[in-house]
Structure 1
Amino acid sequence: MSDSPSAERAPLRLTRRGRTVLVSFAAAFTLAALWVDGGTGAFAGGRADHRAPSGHVRTAVVEPGETLWAIATACDPGTDPRVTVQRIIDLNGMGGDPTVQPGQRLLLPG
C-alpha cells in the first residue's frame, strides 16, 4: 500500500438524513427564488399575459351609450372580443369594476 495522493478513496455516500437535508435545501432555495421573482415568471397566475407590448397602445374616449364590448369590437374587429375586453381591463387597471363612463379615457391595445 502506498500513501500517495493517487491512492483511491472510497466514494462519497449520503445517508438518509443527508439526502433529506439536501432535498430540503434545494426546495427552500427554489421557493425563495420564486418568492423573490414576485410571481412574474412562468408560474405567475397560470393565464396568458393580456397586456399589449410597450409602444403599441392607443387611447379612446368613451362616448355616451358605449360599452366595453363595443369598444373592444371596434378596437380590434379581427379578434375575439372577450380577449380584447380583457386586455382593455388589464391595461386600465379595471380589475374589480370593468364599467365605463362617458368621457372616460381608456388605453386600448395596439
Structure 2
Amino acid sequence: MPDSSSGERAPLRLTRRGRAVLVAFAAAFTLAALWLDGGTGAFAGGRAQHHGPSGHVRSTVVEPGDTLWRIATDSDPGADPRVTVQRIIDLNGLGGDPTVQPGQRLVLPAG
C-alpha cells in the first residue's frame, strides 16, 4: 500500500462491474441521443431543417457541392457568414479540419 504522506496514489483500476457500468452508461447515452435526434440523421432527407421538441435545435444534411459558407448563408441569411461558419464549426467540433462531406449531419446555430 503506498504511503499517503508521499503523495503517490495507486493507479485507478476498473473492476468487471465498473466496466459493465461504464458500457451500460455509454449505451444508454447513445440510445438517448438517437431518441432525441428523432430520426433527423442522414437518411431522413436532404436539406430540410429539423426542429427538436424545444424548437431551438436545427440541423441539416450536407449535400454534394455544399460548403460551410453556403450552409451558413442559407441557415441565417441576415447574419455575417463568417460568424455563422465559426459557430457551425464550434457546434459540430470540426476544429482543425472544417471540411464537410456529403451525408454529414450538422447542427446549426439557433437563428
Higher Cα Rg, which structure? 1
Instruction: With the length of structure 2 as denominator, give the TM-score of the two structures.
Output: 0.49
Structure having greater relative contact order (Cα 8 Å, sep ≥ 6): 1
